[in-house]
Structure formats: structure tokens, C-alpha cells
């Protein structure tokens, strides 16, 4: 161990007393100096078992049996901040935990404010959820009211004995119509389509932007026809049970006496490709206006396309007198 002495002048504000009394009277109004003999003996400082690093400028020393250590060395070792106020000749030692406490207090305040905001948002969400539920209930009530009105208007149409139900919302509405199958089959294709179109029109009067689709069923819930609306709100219907023979019967029922003229209509082919042959007296044909002829052809073709929307359909009109071809459509 090194043990020797060297004279030093030590300012009172630059060192702290470890044992014994501080060597400077802090009540002095002016600086005072005192010559002291310092003894350096390789003093080691440990804080919580760890050695505190020193150098020649910060090495502890002994004066008259009292050990002196620089205040800043001790402050930094213990995690404190040491500052010197030259004006007031004051050493300020601040525990860093106080700064951390300020951070804790700030974060705690921010957390409290965030929790208040969260509570406000949760209250707002609850209110909006309640409003949405009420709106959905109102919408459901509107559909129920519409269903009741449509049922009253269309349940007795042409002996169909229809029971009509609606479901969905303002964007998409599903229609289910249960009918007496015999009464439904007695309707021409045009009347079936017109019936469905009237129902759809009433729905679109209330829900003008809705897409409407539905089915017609018998008492055993077998589907007789299905339908949907296009972008214009017009009904496209598919008869689920119709075959070529059914279409031929339907066309003769619907258009066999159009404009008091006798038309004999025959359908051949299949669901992919079919031909509609129409026979008419040439004398009656010559008396028809171009408008009447076009309307007849359009009506026949529309019914055939409604029944078989994927089929390639050709129409030919022949003279019943000599079999000559009068027109095509």
C-alpha cells in the first residue's frame, strides 16, 4: 500500500466529509483557504459491492484522520446528479428517481386521460349500436308491412290461392310465393310473368334500389318457377318444370287466337336449340298490320326465351294453305 503525504489547498465546496466534520464553515460570507496535508493511501470506494472507478483527480485522501471524497464521484456512483451553483456557492444534489417520478406522474396522467377518452368512445359505440338495432327493427317492420299489403293484393289472383312472404333488406329482397299448382299451371306464361312483375313493382315502389328475386312453389315446397329482376326492374322468369311440349301448349293458349286470327304453333328441338313453326291462313296474314305481326312474333319469342333462356330459338311462319314461308323471326 502506498502511504505518503503531500500538501494541498482544498476548497470546501469540492469535497464531502465521509467521517468526521466538514473542514469548511459554510456560513462564511467570503472564501477562506486553509493549508492541509493530504495523505493518499490507495483508498478504494465500493458502492453496493462494486468498485467505483477513480483517477488522480478523484482519488480519495485523508486529512487529519478524516477521509475526503469528491462530491460528484459519490453522486454519480449513487445515481444522483451533482451541480455547482457558482453564484450561491451551492452544491446541488438531486436524486434521479425524482426525474423518473415526474415521468411516472406524466404517464399516469396520460393513462387516466386515455381511459376517459376510451370510456367516451365505448359510450358512443354503445349508442350507435343501439341506433343500428332500432333501424334494423324499423326496416324489418317495413318489410312486414309491405308483405302484408302484397298478400292482400295478390293472394286471390286467378285462383292461385297465393301465400306470399318477403325477407331481406333494402338492398336485396327474397320473395317466396306458395300457390295452388293447378291454378298456377292454368295461367299463361304472359300472365305468370305479369303477375310476378306486378308484385315486384310494388316492392320497388318502397325499396327502389333493391335487387328482387324469388321462387314460386306448390304446397309441397316444390319449385314451379324462379325469377329475378334485371337492372331495369323487369322480371326474368324460369319455369322449372316446363318442357318443349309444355311450351307449345302455353304458346297456343296465349297466342293461338291473337287479333282474332287462328295461329297453329308447333315447337320442336330441345332446351339448347329449338324451332317454333307457326301456321296461319294467308288471307288472315295479309290483313294484319306490320305492327300486329311484329307484336305477335315478339310475344311468342319472349315467352319461349323466358321458358328456355339459354336456348337458340328460331321462328318461322308458314301459310296453312300451301305451306309456303311467309316470314321468319
| pLDDT of res. 65 | 87
In a domain, 188, yes or no: no
In a domain, 36, yes or no: yes
In a domain, 214, yes or no: no
Is residue 317's pLDDT more than 90? yes
List, in sequence order, every beta strand (DSSP E) within 100-222: 163-168, 172-178, 211-217
* 3-class secondary-structure state, position 220: coil
> How many separate helices (H) and strands (E) can be counted in the chain?
7, 18
Among candidates 328, 254, 253, 326, which has minimal Cα distance to 284?
Answer: 326
Phi-psi region of 194 (alpha: psi -120 to 50; beta: other; left: phi over 0): alpha
In a domain, 53, yes or no: yes
Is residue 19 within 8 A of residue 67, CB to CB? The reply is yes
Identify the domain boundary among 78, 95, 112. Answer: 78
In a domain, 179, yes or no: no
Distance of CA 191 to the CA centre of its chain: 42
- CATH number (domain holding residue 310): 3.30.70
Altogether, the residues listed in the chain come to a count of 329
Query: Which pairs from 72-81 meet CB under 8 Å and 24+ separation?
Result: 73/45, 74/16, 74/45, 77/45, 77/47, 77/52, 78/47
pLDDT digits (tens, 9 = 90+) for 42-65: 899 988 888 988 888 888 999 988
| Burial bucket for residue 4 (CB in 10 Å: 0-12, 13-18, 19+) | exposed
| pLDDT of res. 23 | 42
Identify the domain boundary among 78, 107, 130. Answer: 78
Give CA–CA dist 175/204, Å, rounded.
Answer: 12
Identify the domain boundary among 78, 98, 119. Answer: 78
Is residue 8's pLDDT more than 70? no
In a domain, 33, yes or no: yes
pLDDT digits (tens, 9 = 90+) for 74-126: 888 887 888 888 898 898 887 766 556 677 778 888 888 888 888 888 888 98
pLDDT digits (tens, 9 = 90+) for 230-285: 888 999 887 666 789 888 988 998 899 999 999 999 999 998 999 999 999 999 99
Which domain range does residue 67 map to?
4-78
Q: Cα angle at 29 between 24 and 34, to 5 degrees? A: 35
In a domain, 210, yes or no: no
pLDDT digits (tens, 9 = 90+) for 177-219: 999 999 998 888 888 889 999 999 999 999 988 999 999 999 9
Residue with cell 290483313: 287
Least confident of 10-19, 79-88, 315-324: 10-19
Residue with cell 339459354: 310
For residue 73, how many other CB atoms are within 10 A of its CB? 21
Torsion of CA 279, 284, 288, 292, to 10 degrees: -40
For residue 274, how many other CB atoms are within 10 A of its CB? 20
Give CA–CA dist 302/189, Å, rounded.
Answer: 10
pLDDT digits (tens, 9 = 90+) for 137-189: 555 548 988 999 999 999 989 889 999 999 998 899 999 999 999 999 888 88
Domain count of the fold of the chain: 2
What average pLDDT score do residues 309-323 get? 94
In a domain, 217, yes or no: no
Amino acid at each position: 500500500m502506498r502511504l505518503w503525504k503531500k500538501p494541498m489547498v482544498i476548497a470546501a465546496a469540492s469535497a464531502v466529509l465521509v467521517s468526521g466534520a466538514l473542514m469548511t464553515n459554510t456560513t462564511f460570507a467570503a472564501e477562506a483557504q486553509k493549508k492541509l496535508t493530504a495523505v493518499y493511501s490507495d483508498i478504494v470506494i465500493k458502492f453496493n459491492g462494486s468498485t467505483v472507478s477513480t483517477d488522480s483527480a478523484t482519488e480519495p485522501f485523508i486529512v487529519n484522520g478524516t477521509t475526503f471524497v469528491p462530491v460528484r464521484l459519490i453522486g454519480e456512483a449513487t445515481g444522483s446528479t451533482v451541480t455547482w451553483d457558482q453564484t450561491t456557492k451551492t452544491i446541488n444534489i438531486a436524486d434521479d428517481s425524482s426525474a423518473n417520478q415526474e415521468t411516472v406522474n406524466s404517464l399516469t396522467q396520460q393513462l387516466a386521460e386515455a381511459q376517459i377518452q376510451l370510456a367516451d368512445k365505448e359510450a358512443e359505440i354503445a349508442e350507435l349500436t343501439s341506433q343500428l338495432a332500432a333501424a334494423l327493427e324499423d326496416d324489418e317492420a317495413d318489410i312486414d308491412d309491405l308483405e302484408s299489403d302484397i298478400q292482400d293484393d295478390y293472394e286471390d289472383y286467378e285462383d292461385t290461392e297465393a301465400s306470399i312472404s318477403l325477407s331481406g333488406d333494402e338492398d336485396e329482397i327474397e320473395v317466396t310465393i306458395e300457390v295452388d299448382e293447378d291454378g298456377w299451371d292454368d295461367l299463361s306464361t304472359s300472365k305468370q310473368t305479369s303477375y310476378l312483375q306486378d308484385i315486384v313493382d310494388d316492392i320497388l315502389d318502397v325499396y327502389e334500389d333493391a335487387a328482387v328475386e324469388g321462387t314460386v312453389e306448390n304446397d309441397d315446397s316444390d319449385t314451379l318457377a324462379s325469377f329475378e329482376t334485371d337492372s331495369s326492374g323487369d322480371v326474368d322468369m324460369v319455369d322449372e318444370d316446363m318442357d318443349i311440349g309444355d311450351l307449345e301448349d302455353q304458346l297456343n293458349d296465349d297466342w293461338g287466337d291473337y287479333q282474332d286470327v287462328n295461329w297453329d304453333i308447333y315447337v320442336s328441338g330441345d332446351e339448347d336449340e329449338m324451332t317454333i313453326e307457326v301456321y296461319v291462313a294467308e288471307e288472315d296474314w295479309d290483313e294484319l298490320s306490320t305492327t300486329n305481326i311484329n307484336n305477335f312474333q315478339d310475344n311468342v319469342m319472349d315467352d319461349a326465351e323466358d321458358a328456355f333462356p339459354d336456348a337458340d330459338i328460331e321462328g318461322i311462319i308458314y301459310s296453312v294453305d300451301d305451306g309456303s314461308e311467309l316470314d321468319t323471326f
